[in-house]
Amino acid sequence: MRIDGLSLDFFRNYVHLDAAFDPNINVIYGDNAQGKTNLLEAVAYLSGVSHRARYDRELIQFGVDHAFLKGHVFARERDFLLEAELHRGARRVLRSNGVKLKNSGELSGIFQSVLFCPEDLYLIREGAAARRRFLDSAICQLRPRYAMALAEYKKLYEHKIRILRDWTEKPSLLDALDEFSLRMAQTGAVLIHYRAHFIRRLQEVVPPIHSDFSGGRERLDLRYETVKTVTDPEAPMRDILSQLLEHQESHRQAELESRQCLSGPHKDDLAVDLDGVSAKTYASQGQTRTAALSLKLGCREIFFHDTGEWPVLLLDDVLSELDHRRQEFVLNRIAGGQVFITCCEDDRLPVLLGGKVFHVKQGAIG
Ligand code: ATP
Ligand code: MG
């Protein structure tokens, strides 16, 4: 799949942009703060992913009330015109070939991207939340049902947290506690089921990538860490449900006393080991970078196996950070799909890579 053209109006620092892309390699270069990442962000947005902005209004140009994105996308042997209209103070409107879409998951169902950016280096080093975000974002793009369950789980979690926080002042709140716990366990079982299957696929594709990447010198292992009582996260959901309920029951008193939600997959983690020791604790900077990139390239392969097409790969500011051998490795590995690569003005990359080169300056391309 690929994006052939992109138009932006009042998106971030682009007043207006019309760009036609190369089906293979697009290099976007320019000084700092000119709009390179913004351009990648626009492409990612049309694939249903918002990695930088918490709210759509951040994407709308300062001093303006609306932003428009339009992408000409080719996927599943068909052309799609994907559109997003963002408004300050009103709901966004998403369309595919003129037909309104219900949510960003429907964009992901048509067009998929995998983004790798400098912040992803924290994927390995940071706490479990960063790795859950990674899992959630990837699985949401592949499975609409997961996205729905995740949204539901977050809502239930917020409710339950409020009950646990306020129950001593308002004991009547406790009447609803068991109901929320039950629904969280039901929805949690769905999350665990999908996460377990996705991690199983990561376990197949990521270690060989990492091994190639490190010249066969390092072994990477992935492990799903979820609620203790869940003996087999890949088991049918009803088995997971009963194990989650058992865990909740044993933590009920502790939750009431600590006023925290202690039981459930909102604490899940994806453990990454290098040569048998925790990467989070022991990996060097180079190893961290390699492992994070392997995870992302692994996602790209899973997307490919799932849909039969390569998702668009967005590499923001990362290639120039790698040594020559690793750059070469990435470039060989990504052959086949469309890729966008940003780099800085004085980089040698644009010459090395070929493809189409865009020079970004103050929200315009030349
Ligand atoms: P770097 O090389 O430092 O990563 P970049 O070219 O990737 O730079 P971007 O992150 O794309 O830079 O940002 C370009 C500019 O867009 C920034 O100066 C930022 O202030 C501006 N910007 C961000 N959001 C908005 C917005 N909503 N309206 C107007 N300008 C914005
Ligand atoms: Mg940038």
pLDDT at 171: 92
Minimal-distance CA residue to ligand 1 atom 26: 12
Q: What integer is the mean pLDDT of 233-246? A: 96
Residue 58 CA, closest ligand 1 atom number: 27
pLDDT at 150: 96
Q: What integer is the mean pLDDT of 37-65? A: 94
Q: What integer is the mean pLDDT of 164-174? A: 93
Which residues are close to ligand 2, an ion, with C-beta < 5 A? 36-37
pLDDT at 327: 82
Question: Which of these, 116, 120, 130, 103, lies nearest to 48 by C-alpha position?
Answer: 103
Crossing angle of the two packed helices 177-213 and 128-142, in degrees rounded to 10: 90
Evaluate whether 101 touches 94 at the Cβ level (below 8 Å).
Answer: yes
Q: What integer is the mean pLDDT of 118-142? A: 92
pLDDT at 304: 96
**Average pLDDT, whole number, for the chain?**
94
Q: Which ligand is closest in space to the CA of residue 36?
A: 1
Cβ < 6 A, ligand 1 pocket: 12-13, 30, 32-38, 58, 60-62, 317, 344
pLDDT by residue (tens digit) across 309-329?
Answer: 999 999 998 887 788 888 888
Residue 344 CA, closest ligand 1 atom number: 2
Q: Is the pLDDT at 350 greater than 70, yes or no?
A: no
Q: What integer is the mean pLDDT of 128-155? A: 95
H helix runs in the chain, sequence order: 36-46, 104-110, 122-125, 128-142, 144-166, 177-213, 237-258, 279-282, 285-307, 324-333, 349-353
At 352, give phi and psi (nearest 5°). Answer: -65, -35
pLDDT by residue (tens digit) across 189-234?
Answer: 999 999 999 999 999 999 999 999 888 999 999 999 999 999 999 9
Q: Is the pLDDT at 15 greater than 70, yes or no?
A: yes
- Choose one of 12, 64, 117, 360 to mutate for the ligand 1 pocket test, by most ligand atoms within 8 angstroms of C-beta: 12
pLDDT at 72: 98
- Choose one of 17, 34, 343 to mutate for the ligand 1 pocket test, by most ligand atoms within 8 angstroms of C-beta: 34
Residue 31 CA, closest ligand 1 atom number: 2
pLDDT at 330: 86
The model carries a pTM of: 0.92
CB burial of 329-354 (b: ≥16 within 10 Å; e: otherwise) equals bbeebbeebbbbbbbeeebebbeebe
CA of 10 to the centre of ligand 1 (A): 12
Residue 39 CA, closest ligand 1 atom number: 11
pLDDT at 38: 97
Minimal-distance CA residue to ligand 1 atom 2: 32
Minimal-distance CA residue to ligand 1 atom 25: 12
